[in-house]
Amino acid sequence: MSHVVKRRPDARLILLLGALAACGPISIDMYLPSLPTIAQAFAVGTGAAQSTLTSFMFGFSIGMLLYGPLSDTYGRRPILLGGIIMYALASIACAMSFSIGSLVAFRFVQALGAGAASVLARAIARDAHEPGDAARVLSMIAIVTSIGPLVAPLIGGQLLLLGGWRTVFVALTLFGSVCAVTAFLKVPETWPREMRGQSALLKSFGAYGTLLRDPVAWGHMLCGGMAFASMFAYITATPFVYIEYFHVSAQHYGFLFALNIVGIMGGNYLNTRFVGRFGPVPIISFAALISCIASLFVSLVSLTGWGGLWSIVFGLFFVVGVVGVLSANCTTDLMHRYPANAGAAAAVFGAVQLSFGALASLAVGLWQDGSPKGMGIVVGVAGCLCFVGRMLVLRWHGTKTPAAIA
């Protein structure tokens, strides 16, 4: 095709892109209830079982960095299909693993495939829509994707009861296979050949260097990445803080967890209503301000104990609720700043975002004493850095890119 026709949002395409973007979260959350069983099955310690999660996160990050430049050079569709097929085949291998070492290795490969789906679903949405529509579509995709973390642990727990931990990976194989067939039939090529001719492979990877020298790019990565870090701190800490410190039952913890997922979906819905009117940057500015204020509130009540459990729940609802808004708008604006390297821009944003989340999770683990204090400190610091990112975006947004890679 010689050009891309910008289109109105298509509900069926949005559902498919949301399912593709959910490959990573679903592959993490669905098998979490199986970790103790996996450790028992292979007669290894908890740490060895958890290394299957570490290898997945590592592979996911590398995959996101690889597929952006590859898709800028060879097109979105072949790279996307290749990644999904890799994901499905690796899921089969995970189900057939007979040692913890092989499971760790196959989880890494599975994550490489999932990275393609996550990056390219967003890049395809950007290619096919104007900036205002793209941000709205990315928020719609995030709403669909948010369903994954909500239901995946419940599905994983039931599959564990029905057929053991291998059944979880059989289900992921079926999910990947359906996504691959549907993507082959329904996802168009959105990156025209003449744009690929302008993006030689080495030049596409070279875009990372330019992105990392751009204060606007760092502003977006800090905004979206530190909001994501706050969410990871919440995910890591609250099972201990809510259940062990505040003595919330496991059933009620699930309700509190779902409350924040609803907050994310609500924030993304509001974004779809207002981003077309105001544009991504004003929405980023407002959402980052909310994130900073709510994060500092969570930090204050966590350190002082003021208000108890419900003060923390109240603050975290707003901290987590704007994560999808910031991610969608920061990604959209960054990709439109680098139109010839949109895949690379989406990839570096996703990889940095994931790295910030992993660091926040590690920091909470190091400070974990059963109280909310460690979570409060990490969330507060992340909220302040998110606001710093907002200031960088507002200060430098009108400037040119550091080098003519676009």
| Residue range 340-396, pLDDT digits in tens | 777 778 778 888 888 888 788 778 767 767 689 989 999 999 999 999 999 999 998
> In angstroms, rounded to a whole number, what is the distance separating the alpha carbons of residues 371 and 301?
12
In terms of residue numbers, what domain contains 4? 1-199
Q: Is 131 in the same domain as 259?
A: no
Which CATH number fits the domain that encloses residue 139?
1.20.1250.20
Total domain count, the chain: 2
> In angstroms, rounded to a whole number, what is the distance separating the alpha carbons of residues 204 and 119?
15
Q: What is the pLDDT of residue 406?
A: 45
Residue 369 located in a structural domain:
yes
Q: What pLDDT, in 10s, does the model give residues 228-250?
A: 899 878 876 776 678 778 988 75
Q: Is 119 in the same domain as 245?
A: no
Q: Is 185 in the same domain as 205?
A: no
Q: Is 181 in the same domain as 265?
A: no
Q: Is 171 in the same domain as 205?
A: no
Residue 265 located in a structural domain:
yes
- Among 199, 220, 242, the domain-final residue is 199
Q: What is the pLDDT of residue 311?
A: 96
214 or 143: which carries more pLDDT confidence? Answer: 214
Q: Is 214 in the same domain as 129?
A: no
* Number of CB atoms found within 10 A of residue 43's CB: 8
Most confident of 24-38, 139-153, 201-215, 257-271: 257-271
Q: What pLDDT, in 10s, does the model give residues 1-18?
A: 444 445 555 677 778 888
> In angstroms, rounded to a whole number, what is the distance separating the alpha carbons of residues 277 and 294?
25
Return the amino acid letter for 287: A
Residue 286 located in a structural domain:
yes
Residue 230 located in a structural domain:
yes
End-to-end CA distance of the chain: 20
pLDDT tier for residue 20 given thresholds of 50, 70 and 90: confident
Residue 195 located in a structural domain:
yes
Q: Is 54 in the same domain as 193?
A: yes
Comparing CA positions, the residue from 189, 115, 183, 132 lying closest to residue 346 is 115
Task: List the structure tokens of 296.
Answer: 């500092």
Outline where 239-307 has alpha helix (H): 250-278, 280-304
Report residue 6: phi and psi, to 5°: -70, 130
* Number of CB atoms found within 10 A of residue 239's CB: 13
**What is the mean predicted confidence (pLDDT) over 129-149?**
71
For residues 115 and 59, is the Cβ–Cβ distance under 8 A? yes
For residues 292 and 235, is the Cβ–Cβ distance under 8 A? no
Comparing CA positions, the residue from 308, 310, 295, 336 lying closest to residue 131 is 336
Q: What pLDDT, in 10s, does the model give residues 272-309?
A: 889 888 989 999 999 999 999 999 999 999 999 999 99
- Among 170, 199, 228, the domain-final residue is 199
Q: Is 387 in the same domain as 365?
A: yes
Residue 406 located in a structural domain:
no
Residue 333 located in a structural domain:
yes
Q: What is the pLDDT of residue 1?
A: 42
Q: Is 51 in the same domain as 188?
A: yes
Whether the per-residue pLDDT at 324 is higher than 90: the answer is: no
> In angstroms, rounded to a whole number, what is the distance separating the alpha carbons of residues 320 and 317?
6
Q: Alpha carbon of 141 to those of 16, 19, 145, 146: distances in Å? A: 9, 8, 6, 9
Q: Is 219 in the same domain as 161?
A: no
- Among 156, 172, 199, the domain-final residue is 199
Residue 162 located in a structural domain:
yes
Q: Is 249 in the same domain as 372?
A: yes
Q: What pLDDT, in 10s, does the model give residues 31-53?
A: 767 777 888 899 887 667 767 87
Is pTM beyond 0.85? Reply is no
Q: Is 249 in the same domain as 338?
A: yes
Task: List the structure tokens of 268.
Answer: 């993304």
> In angstroms, rounded to a whole number, what is the distance separating the alpha carbons of residues 344 and 358?
21
